[in-house]
């Protein structure tokens, strides 16, 4: 699970939960096949489609030099009906 960094919970992604779509930030080097395998094994779900996009770079200034903040790739995953991913633990 080191490829999947964390689930994304924003206003838009909460609306997507109604359509059985989940959003995760993942490692930039990982591809769709790896992420699909990990999510299907870890959460025991079936995925119908996946969309991905890279987040825009953010400038970061350290002293006199300027660089870019390391950004992640965001995956929007659509599950088959009847499947769901628990985003919060029930403890």
pLDDT, tens digit, 9 for 90 and up, residues 53-90: 888 888 888 888 888 877 789 999 999 999 988 876 45
pTM of the model: 0.79
Determine the Cα angle at 46 with ends 44 and 51, to 5°: 120
φ/ψ of residue 14, rounded to 5: -70, -35
Structure tokens at 55: 């987040």
Determine the 3-state secondary structure of 48 from DSSP: strand
Q: Is residue 31 a part of any domain in this protein? A: yes
Q: What is the pLDDT of residues 19-60, one digit of tens each?
A: 999 999 998 888 899 999 989 998 899 999 999 988 888 888
Quickly count: other Cβ atoms within 10 Å of residue 6's Cβ. Answer: 9
Domain CATH number, residue 70: 3.30.70.330
- Domain of residue 8: give its range: 4-79
């Amino acid at each position: 699970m080191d490829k999947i960094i964390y689930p994304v919970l924003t206003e838009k992604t909460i609306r997507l939960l109604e359509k059985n779509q989940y959003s995760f930030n993942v490692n930039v080097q990982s591809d769709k096949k790896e992420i699909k395998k990990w999510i299907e094994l870890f959460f025991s779900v079936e995925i119908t489609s996946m969309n991905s996009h890279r987040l825009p770079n953010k400038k970061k200034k350290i002293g006199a030099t300027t660089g870019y903040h390391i950004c992640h790739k965001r995956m929007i995953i659509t599950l088959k009906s009847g499947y769901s991913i628990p985003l919060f633990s029930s403890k």
